[in-house]
Amino acid sequence: MKNIAVTGSDISSAWLNACRAMAAESPVAYHTVVRIENPLDEDPAVRAAVDEILSTAGLQSVKTVANTIFPAAVAATSSDQLELTRRYLDAMPTLRRLSPANIYGTYFGRLVSYPGPDGPVNQLDAIITRLSKETAKSGTRTGPLSAAYEAGFALPGEEGNAPPGEGRMSALHAPVRVPGQDTRVPGFPCLSHCSFQLDRTDTLHAMAHYRSQLMVERAYGNYVGLGRLLGYIAGRTGLRTGQLTVTAGYASLDQRKRLGVLLAACHPEPMTTAQPV
């Protein structure tokens, strides 16, 4: 099978490197790893080109996709994560009504109101609260925990959308330590979980795992949303924003004909890629 591992200095270069690696050999890859060193930065020209591809194909814009993971505008005008949660949940009925894609919810909705067995769980507040308590231990004998900050998005029984003709095996998953149950098979969510890691330089990093991912239709917007989520949590806890790593069990390079022009026009950054196995 084909697997890739790439690194980019910002969202745009990391995404371009991943797409270029897939375009060179196979439009389908398994166990992909994309590392973004500065997930709050991007190239406006690349962003505009991606939006043009999406618009031509009648797909959601980068901003719309990113907002399903983190509503930046609402966050910017909210005093803290609790006000952000309240305002977002108040708007959820409207979000569902305006877009069929949101009928089962959004990723940010799962983050702030996860359907646990004992009622909704605000994972965002729990992560920020725990990080704040842990960072207060800096300089003590024990010090803060480095990797104890998890957020689940998928419920047992859920399965992501496999691209047409690829079959369902590409999207099967077995979530671990996730409360609640779902029996609906197709559709949302493809993002399974996020984890956050705190290093000894007071820098917060994040890793997100997708069961399946469309590299053009969704990946760029996903990277933007995840980067903003990481930046928000880091900001709320007085930490620096670190690296974002996104893995996918299965990735597909969609919109290849339109994407070819963009890949040809952009010069690649140095990148590392795993060899097909």
**Which residue type is seen at 76?**
A
Helix, strand, or coil (residue 46) = helix
Mean pLDDT of 180-197: 63
With a CB cutoff of 8 Å and minimum separation 6, the contacts of 43 are: 10, 12, 13
Structural domain boundaries, residue 204:
41-240
Is residue 245 in a domain? no
Average pLDDT of every residue of the chain: 82
Q: Are 62 and 45 contacting, i.e. CB atoms less than 8 angstroms apart? A: no
Phi, psi of 83, deg, nearest 5: -65, -40
Q: Is the pLDDT of residue 174 over 60?
A: no
% pLDDT > 90, the chain: 52
Query: Does residue 103 fall inside a structural domain?
Result: yes
Is residue 98 included in any domain, yes or no? yes
The four Cα atoms 67, 232, 86, 221 give a dihedral, to 10 degrees, of 10
Is it the case that residue 85 has pLDDT exceeding 70? yes
Residue 149 lies in a domain: yes
On whether residue 130 sits in a domain, the answer given is yes
pLDDT above 70 coverage of the chain, percent: 78
Determine, yes or no, domain membership for 2. no
The residue count of the chain comes to 277
Please count the structural domains in the chain.
Answer: 1
* Range from 122-131, 151-160, 190-199, 224-233 that averages highest in pLDDT: 224-233
Q: How many whole angstroms separate alpha carbon 177 and alpha carbon 150? A: 10
Using DSSP bridges, classify how beta strands 240-252 and 28-38 pair: parallel, antiparallel or unpaired. Answer: antiparallel
What are the pLDDT digits (tens) for 1-50?
688 999 999 999 999 999 999 998 889 999 999 999 999 999 999 999 99
For residue 205, tell me if it sits in a domain: yes
Q: How confident is the model at residue 108 (pLDDT cuts 50, 70, 90)?
A: very high
